[in-house]
Amino acid sequence: MGKRSSNSMIFNLLAKKEKGLWIGHCLELDIVATADSLEVLKKDLTDLIIAQVDYAFSNNNLENLYHPAPSEVWEEFFKCRPETEEEIEVHSEFQDDRPLKSFVPPWIIAKTCLYGESCIA
């Protein structure tokens, strides 16, 4: 990871394919998304994470940011090894018109595990 990782928030993502549809789950925020392809799923899920993080920081509402996924989702994630890790730049949608800007993390790090392909039996 580069210099950006010191100012980042890390989120773990579980992705799995069921009946031809990709399902993604952000474990720390309990956000779920679906898509026809893994690439679209990862983009949609990271967009949702960025929106939630941006809104929470911009509105001083950090106490409501984290909502962990159910334990069975965490168990699925820990049966896998993280497949990819990417740094994603955050651009605030809520900061432009505020006279006093609050801190919004400039980066998130998404660690994605593909369930079923790299899992421990």
Could you tell me which residues come within 8 angstroms of residue 61 by beta carbon, excluding any fewer than 6 positions away? 55
Residue 100, pLDDT above cutoff 50: no
Q: How many residues does the chain have?
A: 121
pLDDT at 117: 58
Pick the range with the lowest mean pLDDT from 27-31, 33-37, 63-67, 106-110.
106-110
CA torsion 83→89→90→93, rounded to 10°? -120
Report which of 76, 87, 88 is spatially closest to residue 114, judged by C-alpha positions: 76
Which run of H or of E encompasses 25?
strand 21-26
* pLDDT at residue 41, rounded to an integer: 94
The per-residue pLDDT for range 60-74, each reduced to its tens digit, is 888 888 999 999 999
**What are the chain's domains?**
10-114 (3.30.160)
Q: What average pLDDT does this structure show over 66-93?
A: 83
H-state helical runs in the chain: 38-58, 71-78
Residue 10: predicted pLDDT:
86
- Would you state the torsion angle of the CA atoms of residues 73, 78, 79, 82, taken in this order, to the nearest 10 degrees? 110
